[in-house]
């Protein structure tokens, strides 16, 4: 039998659902609301609606309204992820409720968490200052990791609400700009391991990607052939990964030089000037002579003209670190590389992988054929 719940019972059901949905997403998408409504009528078939195509359209509509009301309640008690989007916190010229909403856009699970229980902004600031002292000590990774975990929510609120310059962040959170901490911060934000997941998936799809690249014709196909020919010369996993990522950019009709800027070791002045003028990019300095493509002297990551990391293992390793920094620093993907980073996020890392652009969706289909 189908049950027609009275208004009070329906409201109680939706209230409980809203609390549970909020644990996963403060601003759920239309598809997520649809999944929640489907889960409800699957668990309780008596709540299926008559007169609708799927039997859940009404529940989805009511849940959307209940989520908005639930956020209003949380805003009044000062929940950070909701309060940051209130009208009183908007900047001048953004006096509309829907203007510049700060919410997860890259499948972040912990986008703007609350401070730990019993902690205040003042106590967190003391921990941050203490962390600056701990960074200067040798063999102190365990203490640094513990304090970085403790101050995570305080750091995220600063990043999301204040949007500081990278140079200021580097001085305030110097412990953040290491490979280990970027990997740990990405895990805190998404609950997914960065390095192991990215390289594991990239290696898994390399053979299929190689087949797809070979089918590419025209000037792009010729360029990809030249790039992949370098990988065939040596049995080096780092070199193969570098070539696959470069070929991916070319296949998606994006300029690899906007992601990786290469310099010759013979011209350090040009390299320094190029690095200082970079907004967001990886730099690679190569040696001279034959085999220069394999002779990497230095690889690093630059954001806003600040050299954040250097002496990295390879270009592909630097790409993964840059991807992690975009999450860590709450940055947007470069517009000129949006399809490449979408592939990284949604195909390799499987973060919000159900909604793809037509170009990336076509590539994913070819990989699995």
Largest CA distance in the chain: 80
Task: Say whether both 161 and 267 belong to one domain.
Answer: no
- Condensed to tens digits (0 to 9), the pLDDT of residues 228-271 reads 998 888 888 999 999 999 999 999 999 988 999 888 765 666 66
Residue 141 belongs to what domain range? 121-176
Q: Is residue 296 part of a domain?
A: yes
Q: Is residue 186 part of a domain?
A: no
Q: Is residue 96 part of a domain?
A: no
Q: Is residue 109 part of a domain?
A: no
| Sequence-distant (≥ 6) Cβ neighbours of residue 349 within 8 angstroms | 190, 192, 197, 198, 201
Q: What is the pLDDT of residue 212?
A: 94
Q: DSSP alpha helices (H): ranges in the chain?
A: 7-22, 30-43, 57-76, 80-83, 121-135, 141-150, 152-157, 166-172, 179-190, 194-214, 218-233, 237-251, 268-276, 315-328, 338-342, 358-368
Q: What is the mean pLDDT of residues 353-363?
A: 92
Q: Provide the b/e sequence for 50-87 (b: ≥16 CB within 10 Å).
A: eeeeebbeebbebbbebbeebbeebbeeebbbbbbbee
Task: Say whether both 267 and 155 belong to one domain.
Answer: no
- The answer on pLDDT for 97 being more than 90 is no
Contact 330, 106 (CB under 8 A): no
Q: Is residue 223 part of a domain?
A: yes
Q: Is residue 99 part of a domain?
A: no
Work out how many domains the chain is built from and give that number: 3
Q: Is residue 275 part of a domain?
A: yes
pTM assigned to the model? 0.84
Task: Say whether both 165 and 256 belong to one domain.
Answer: no
| Sequence-distant (≥ 6) Cβ neighbours of residue 155 within 8 angstroms | 128, 173, 176
pLDDT band for position 305 (50/70/90)? Answer: confident
Task: Say whether both 285 and 328 belong to one domain.
Answer: yes
Q: Is the dihedral of CA 220, 224, 225, 226 positive or negative?
A: positive
- Condensed to tens digits (0 to 9), the pLDDT of residues 27-61 reads 888 889 999 999 999 999 999 998 888 899 999 99
């Amino acid at each position: 039998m189908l049950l027609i719940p009275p208004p009070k019972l329906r409201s109680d059901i939706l209230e409980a659902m809203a609390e549970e949905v909020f644990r996963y997403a403060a601003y759920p998408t239309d598809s997520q609301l649809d999944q929640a409504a489907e889960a409800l009528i699957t668990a309780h078939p008596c709540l299926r609606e008559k007169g609708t195509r799927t039997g859940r359209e009404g529940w989805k509509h009511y849940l959307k309204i209940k989520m908005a009301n639930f956020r209003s309640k949380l805003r009044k008690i000062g929940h950070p992820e909701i309060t940051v989007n209130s009208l009183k916190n908007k900047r001048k010229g953004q006096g509309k409720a829907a203007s510049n909403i700060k919410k997860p856009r890259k499948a972040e699970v912990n986008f703007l968490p609350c401070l730990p229980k019993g902690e205040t902004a003042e106590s967190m600031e003391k921990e941050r200052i203490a962390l600056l002292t701990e960074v200067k000590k040798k063999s102190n990774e365990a203490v640094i990791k513990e304090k970085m975990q403790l101050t995570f929510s305080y750091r995220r609120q600063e990043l999301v609400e204040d949007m500081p310059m990278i140079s200021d962040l580097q001085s305030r959170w110097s412990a953040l700009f290491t490979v280990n901490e970027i990997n740990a911060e990405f895990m805190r934000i998404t609950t997914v391991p960065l390095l192991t997941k990215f390289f594991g998936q990239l290696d898994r799809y390399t053979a299929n990607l190689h087949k797809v690249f070979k089918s590419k014709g025209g000037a792009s196909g010729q360029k990809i052939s030249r790039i992949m020919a370098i990988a065939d010369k040596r049995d080096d996993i780092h070199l193969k990964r570098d070539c696959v990522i470069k070929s991916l950019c070319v296949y998606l009709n994006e300029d690899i030089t906007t992601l990786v800027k290469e310099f010759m070791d013979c011209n350090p002045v040009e390299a320094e000037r190029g690095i200082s003028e970079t907004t967001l990019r990886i730099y690679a300095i190569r040696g001279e002579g034959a085999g220069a493509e394999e002779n990497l002297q230095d690889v690093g990551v630059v954001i806003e003209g600040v050299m954040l990391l250097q002496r990295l293992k390879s270009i592909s390793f630097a790409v993964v670190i840059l991807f992690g920094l975009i999450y860590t620093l709450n940055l947007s993907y470069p517009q000129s590389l949006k399809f490449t980073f979408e592939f990284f996020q949604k195909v390799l890392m499987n973060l919000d992988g159900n909604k793809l652009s037509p170009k990336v969706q076509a590539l994913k289909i070819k990989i699995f054929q």
